[in-house]
Amino acid sequence: MHRIDRSNSPAPAEGYQERLVRGVRRISRSPSFPRPWVGILAALHGNEPAGIAAHRYLDEAAGHFEGTLFLIEGNLEAIKIGERHTRGGVDLNRIFDLSFAGDLSPEHYDYEHHRALELTPILDSLDAALDLHTATAETPPFALALGPQTPIEDSFFQITSLEVADTLPVRFVTYGWEERTDISAGVALARVSSRGPSIAVECGSHGSSGVEEVAIAITQAFLRALGVSKATQTDWPPPRTLELTYALLSRAPRLRFRRTFSSFDALVANEVVGDDEEGEFRTPHGGTILLPNPDVDVGAPCLYIAEER
């Protein structure tokens, strides 16, 4: 642990920081690192480094927050190559149920399996968490509110993920992922969501201009909603709310969409979405598209569908 010397900066914001494991540190204005313990997760996917800008911002402002912030960089090896996961590896943000431990012997673990085991005790200690992502397709910023839709007994925070998400500078808030999609028990936030607010955000598309500023603004608003930050913020229009209704799974190799889909485009039931090795590929359900991506493995969602609530 060491004291951060900010004596040369115009607005000193002294705090304490401690490195826990590689790519993870906790920061606080108190050396006792008091609760609440709030995680800010970045780059669980290595091609999505925007959230690391939020870590840099929090480093500068460490002395301004109540409790303790855990700054967690997810897939360190994939960040180096700018890919979603390591070559030959697996999606780190789908294996936090640790079910692989029963299926694979440790000598067959990929980097991501080791990293999931390393991060799990840290995630299991958090009272709330924000997970910053970017998307393959164009998208306005939107939130994925995970966990129960009623307050959690004995939680540090008597506010739900959905209530926190409604205060964020995003255009849409979505919920219902765990019930109907692969964004469920395997994601990092699933290890936090039974204890307190747990929100993933898509800040924009990978590398788009301004996406780091969006990640920082969302982080500021998240900490304010939890009462961990007292910083004032400007008002923005409340987000619209959508419930996840369906995940369309890629059924064959070489899927190509018929048009360039963006998140929040509309699809109608039975519409031809694209073509793959088996021919025309249709969606049985219509609604609002989220996270379209034709370049997924067969059996994985190539897009999600939601309905406004």
* Nearest partner of 114 among 135, 85, 84, 134, judged by Cα: 85
Closest to Zn ion by CB, 189 vs 216, is 189
Q: Which amino acid is at 234?
A: T
State the number of CA atoms in the 13 A half-sphere of 153 facing the CB: 0
Residue written as token pair 């070489």? 254
Binding flag, residue 85, Zn ion (CB under 5 A): no
CB of 50 to Zn ion, least distance (A): 10
Q: Write out the binding residues for Zn ion, residues 121-180 only, by CB under 5 A.
A: 133
CB of 45 to Zn ion, least distance (A): 4
CB of 42 to Zn ion, least distance (A): 10
The secondary structure of 178-235 as a DSSP string is HHHSSSSTTSGGGGTTTTS-EEEEEEEETT-TTHHHHHHHHHHHHHHHTTS-------
Closest to Zn ion by CB, 228 vs 244, is 244
Q: Write out the binding residues for Zn ion, residues 191-230 only, by CB under 5 A.
A: none
Query: How many residues touch Zn ion (CB under 5 A)?
Result: 3
| H or E element that contains 26 | strand 24-28
CB of 133 to Zn ion, least distance (A): 4
Closest to Zn ion by CB, 130 vs 228, is 130
* Nearest partner of 171 among 267, 238, 266, 217, judged by Cα: 238
CB of 136 to Zn ion, least distance (A): 9
Q: Write out the binding residues for Zn ion, residues 42-61 only, by CB under 5 A.
A: 45, 48
- Applying CB under 5 A, the residues found at the interface with Zn ion are 45, 48, 133
